[in-house]
Structure 1
Amino acid sequence: MATLSLVFRVVITITIILRLVSSLQSSSTTPIQPAPPPSNPCIPSERDALLDFKKGLTDPDNYLSSWQGDDCCAWMGISCSKRNGHVVELWLNRAGLGGKISSSLLALRHLKSLGVEGNDFGGAPIPEFIGSFKHMKYLYLFDSNFSGQIPPHLGNLSELLDLQLTSQQTGPNFYSTDLAWLARLSKLEYLYLDGVNLSTAIDWTHSINMLPSLVFLSLSYCSLRNAIPPPVHINLTSLKTVYLSGNPFNSPISFKQFFWPFWALPSLENVYLGNCGLQGSLPEVLGNSTSLKLLDLNNNDLTGVPITLKRLHTLETLHLAENNFNGSLEMYHFG
């Protein structure tokens, strides 16, 4: 019986080994199936919208020659989300484009960045529908020959971080009669409106003051005037750089009554107020700007400097050329 049991075990072992060998031989001769090709990341409806947008453009330099085929995410100027394939960026800066910006872009519901700077749209107004992109964070429309009133619909872009609408000073200009729409952009950090005609926007200081996240403000040559007093409570605690050059404030009391809370901003580092027609003496409250690094007051009609300027220990650059100061500034030791 012991001999029969041993023989039975040997037979079972050999059978298992033979089956394993047969399985290995079978698997080695079976061809490996190639992995299925990745699904096209481009959303068909968004591709169609981009092609409709292209139809409305003139493209003499053939910048959009890559806009063909199914994969719109590989086209020039297009970036898509790696997570879901939606178009999130449309960058066509300095591409030599013209024509019309089509509302077909509204199909790009996930668009976060739109840049068409440095093109030529023939003095057309900014399309109002651009204010419908609820995910928009970056909007660059400057130096593209737009004109007319800035649509207040842009105030609906509640996620916006960077808005650049600088207007050409030698061509058709943007204008805005009321900047109240800006107050809704509470997350805005960078604002460029240079050359935009704001001569009738008397509420501009209050509207700008509603932007607590603002870091950079550029409003040079906007025809701003000292029409109303500034807000009493300043919310611009993050503001570091201000460009206000070339605005006709033309007032001997601008510094004392119009700019007085401006100098108390806790993060203020760079101020440009050249060629503003400012008159009289610099105010003593200027000495409160203890974080100031650069102050440009060239080409004004200023006559005096307060002793409090000595408090500006962080000041590195001071421009006072083309004014009417008497005496020397050597007594002030900055830095």
Structure 2
Amino acid sequence: MKKTIFIISIIILLSLPTPSLSQRCNKNDEKVLFQIKKSLGNPYHLTSWKKEEDCCTWYCVKCDQKTGRINELNIFSGNISGQIPPEVGNLPYLTMLDFHKLTNLTGQIPSSISKLTHLTYLILSWNDLSGPIPSSLNQLKNLKYLELSYNKLTGSIPPELATLPKLTEINLSRNKLTGVIPESFGKFKSLESIHLSHNQLTGPVPKALGFLNLSTVDFSRNQLTGDLSMLFGKNKMIQFAYLSRNGFQFDLSKVVFPGSLELLDLSHNKIYGSLPATLTGLRLQRLDVSYNTLCGKIPQGGDLQKFETTSYMHNRCLCGSPLPACAKRS
């Protein structure tokens, strides 16, 4: 009898309608995705976006497994033309938004992105975006990573970005940004890496940046000036310092470099003084101090002699291995 009841129960269970996969995806999110697809001209890249399939299985889309809400939109390396659809701001549970390597993606960064308060990663890189960086991005209080590199963005860097409490990395390289590095950037709470290279930034680096524990700094190929020795110090954690092709001017002999430093590029500046002996205690993978006004003997020991002469050339009077020997005083 018990066996018969068990079999009947199984048959009943099997006969009950099961939720289809299409019910996993939130219908509001699905509607927004179709709007985004239409705004982008229904590209071939998004052909998997169709009613017959659960939108959580669509290409470039990821859902939260528990809620079925869209939490990642990663559209990359496709033949897509147009502008970033403002409808992306209507996906309220996004934690990652990534439009990458879409060379025909033009226009400005839509202000609607600032509505995505759950966003932790915002990547709009290697596109053809123009116009200013919206100051309203400072509303993304959960943002940890901001990358807007390799575009044609113009205007100044919004000082409001410094109010992002969780931001650990900001990359604005390879744009056409002008003006100064905002003084407010010294107030970042969690920043570890800052990339501003290949822009048209001017003026001195804010001294307040010296209070941050940065691991990577890339200010190369701008028009920055003044003293940035405050980025270094015995107790700092900086590992990679790309500072070439600016107008920096300070006495290198007075700088104390931390043991964490692995890469130092100070080439093509106006740096003077001599190379400090403390450089011999570092495990440098790369060093370039060429095209400055340095003088004196290159300290012997450590890794300093393993670098090519090109790392030291075109200074006022640097000498010693790997450069020619210093002239003997009579």
Q: Structure 1 length as normaliser, TM-score?
A: 0.79
Matched, 1:148 2:126: no
- Distance of aligned partners of 1:30 and 1:47 in 2 relative to their CA distance in 1, 3 Å threshold: closer
Rounded to whole Å, the distance in 1 between the matches of 2:55 and 2:8 is 40
Name the SS for the 1:52 alignment partner.
Answer: helix
* Cα deviations by residue, 1:24-75 (Å, 9 ceiling, x for unpaired): 4565577623164245210011101100111010355x11010002511010
Rounded to whole Å, the distance in 2 between the matches of 1:229 and 1:107 is 37
Rounded to whole Å, the distance in 2 between the matches of 1:328 and 1:311 is 13
Matched, 1:132 2:107: no
In 1, are the aligned partners of 2:82 and 2:106 still within 8 Å (CA)? no
Q: Which runs of 4+ in 1 moved over 6 A?
A: none
Alignment of 1:207-222 (within 5 A): 207-222=184-199
Name the SS for the 1:182 alignment partner.
Answer: helix
Quote the offset at 1:130 in angstroms. 0.7
Which of 208, 233, 242 pairs up with 1:272? Answer: 242
Quote the offset at 1:132 in angstroms. 1.1
User: Tell me, which stretches of 5 or more residues in structure 2 are unaligned?
Assistant: 305-330
Quote the offset at 1:291 in angstroms. 2.4
User: % of aligned pairs identical?
Assistant: 27
Counterpart of 2:239, as a letter, is E
- Distance of aligned partners of 1:130 and 1:283 in 2 relative to their CA distance in 1, 3 Å threshold: farther
User: Tell me, which stretches of 5 or more residues in structure 1 are unaligned?
Assistant: 1-21
Question: Which structure would you say has the larger Rg?
Answer: 1
Counterpart in the other structure of 2:49: 67
Cα-Cα RMSD = 2.6
Rounded to whole Å, the distance in 2 between the matches of 1:166 and 1:309 is 35
- Distance of aligned partners of 1:161 and 1:198 in 2 relative to their CA distance in 1, 3 Å threshold: same
Rounded to whole Å, the distance in 1 between the matches of 2:250 and 2:162 is 33
Counterpart in the other structure of 1:185: 164
Which of 278, 288, 311 pairs up with 1:309? Answer: 278
Aligned pairs, how many?
298
* Bigger fraction of residues in strand: 2
Name the SS for the 1:163 alignment partner.
Answer: strand
Counterpart of 1:195, as a letter, is R
- Distance of aligned partners of 1:72 and 1:333 in 2 relative to their CA distance in 1, 3 Å threshold: same
Q: Structure 2 length as normaliser, TM-score?
A: 0.80
Alignment of 1:292-331 (within 5 A): 292-310=261-279, 312-331=281-300
In 1, are the aligned partners of 2:98 and 2:124 still within 8 Å (CA)? yes
Rounded to whole Å, the distance in 2 between the matches of 1:334 and 1:154 is 43
Counterpart in the other structure of 2:18: 37
